[in-house]
Structures are given as structure tokens and as C-alpha cells.
Amino acid sequence: MKERVTIINGNNPIILVCPHGPDDTNTSIITKVCAKEVDCSAIINNGWKRTKNINESSGRANCNSATQVLNSRNSVLFSEYGAPLLRMVADSLVSNSNSMVFHIHGVGDHISINQPFPIGFVMGFGQSKKKPSHTCPLWLKNSFAEYVNYDVHRGYAAAQGRKGGNYCARRKDNMAQHLKLTYENSNYTLHNLQLEINYELREDKSIAEETGKYLAGFLKMVLNSNLQSTGHVMPNFHKVPVV
């Protein structure tokens, strides 16, 4: 029987979070492959079906909702997913005070409508028209955009979520935003970047595995480039499409 939540413990200061495995097709495969390639930690939801209102008895919860996941009154969800996630982040920061979390989500191919080329990845980092709350420094999202858009992986480019839109990771209940707010005034540095991955880059097992390895290529570059000192991997890429 498949475990409802998979925990992977790695040695590098990167954590992959896959909150919607049952709903976002093959994001769990992308996450597992990427974690193995990078030797980093990951938490993968395999069984909690996404819903607005939690119902533990029917296995329904939104694992990207800090309100649901981190509420100890939701004892099953908290013990299976919330508590392990918090421990994973805390352990990473104790080992390396500069750590990163990449939140792996899925999105439909509608994001490419009215775009000059297909969009494969949408970055969310807390952008907003009036009150942005960036979950990571801009060099990180710019470097990912540069990494993807330099070679246009499988013909797909990287974009960023529209300010205040569905893919910007701005809501306080969003897990990336919650983790950012939790550690922003601490002695630790925790960068969070949310990635929405187009269905066409995960539509079957083999493509999802390829996408996981492709994402791992960027994370290895992050680890090998001492980004905290240099500020960026490559020159900042500012002309990023918005969806």
C-alpha cells in the first residue's frame, strides 16, 4: 500500500515540497527524481486530496494551506505532514543557516494562451501590486528564469506569476509565504520559491522524470555557485513573461 506522505532525507540544504501529489499529475515523480539527483530532502503528499475545507476522515486537505497543515487540532494531517515539514526545515537550518525550499505545484497548459511561446514553469515569490512580500531574493527567481529561458527546455520558457494573481504565492496561508514570515526575523536565511509546472512537462512518467532531472540541474548549479556570496548564478534576467 502506498504511503500517504513520503519523507526523503538528504544531505544538501535544499528541501522540495510537493503538496498536491494526488491532484497535480506526476509532481510527486518530479519531486522524487529531483531529490535523488540533488541528494536533498523532500516531503511529498501522495494521498491527501486537495479541498477548501479539511475533512480528515475522508482524506481531504489542502497541504499548501498553513492554516490546515500546521493546526495541531487537525491531528492526523499535522502528524503526517505538518510536523515532519517543520522538523525538516528546522533540521536543515541547524545544519546550514542558509537553506532553500522549492514548492512543486502543477498548472494546466492554459498558461501559454496569448504568450509568444509556451510556458513551462511559473514562478511565485510573493509578488503583489501594493504590498509585495518576497519569499526569496530576486536573484534566485531571475537565475531560474535565465536557466530555463537560456535553452528553452523542450520548447518551454519560464514565466512569473502576475502580481496578486493565482500563481504569486502572496497569500499568508500559502506555505511558501508562511515559512518566509516564520523565519524572516530570525538568525537563519530561508528562501522559498514556488514553481508551477505545466502539465505537458509532467504528462507521463518518463517526461516527469526528465523534468525532475532538469530541475535538479538548476539546483546543483545553485549548490555549486555559492549564490549567497555572489548574488546570482548568471546576469539577472529581467524580461520574464508574466501570466
In a domain, 241, yes or no: no
In a domain, 59, yes or no: yes
In single-letter form, the type of residue at position 28 comes to S
In a domain, 145, yes or no: yes
Q: What mean pLDDT is predicted for residues 41-60? A: 98
In a domain, 55, yes or no: yes
In a domain, 171, yes or no: yes
List, for residues 190-238, the tens digit of each pLDDT value.
Answer: 999 999 999 999 999 999 999 999 999 999 999 998 544 444 444 444 4
List, for residues 114-155, the tens digit of each pLDDT value.
Answer: 998 899 999 999 999 999 999 999 999 999 999 999 877 688
The CATH code of the domain that includes 169 is 3.40.630.40
Q: How many domains does the chain have?
A: 1
In a domain, 113, yes or no: yes
Is residue 152 within 8 Å of residue 121, measured between CB atoms? no
Nearest to 124 by CA among 114, 111, 113: 111
What pTM did the predictor assign? 0.94
Structural domain containing residue 153: 5-230
Res. 35: pLDDT tops 70: yes
Distance of CA 151 to the CA centre of its chain: 21
In a domain, 14, yes or no: yes
In single-letter form, the type of residue at position 145 comes to A
In a domain, 236, yes or no: no
CA gap 40, 215 in Å, rounded: 13
User: What does pLDDT average to over the chain?
Assistant: 93
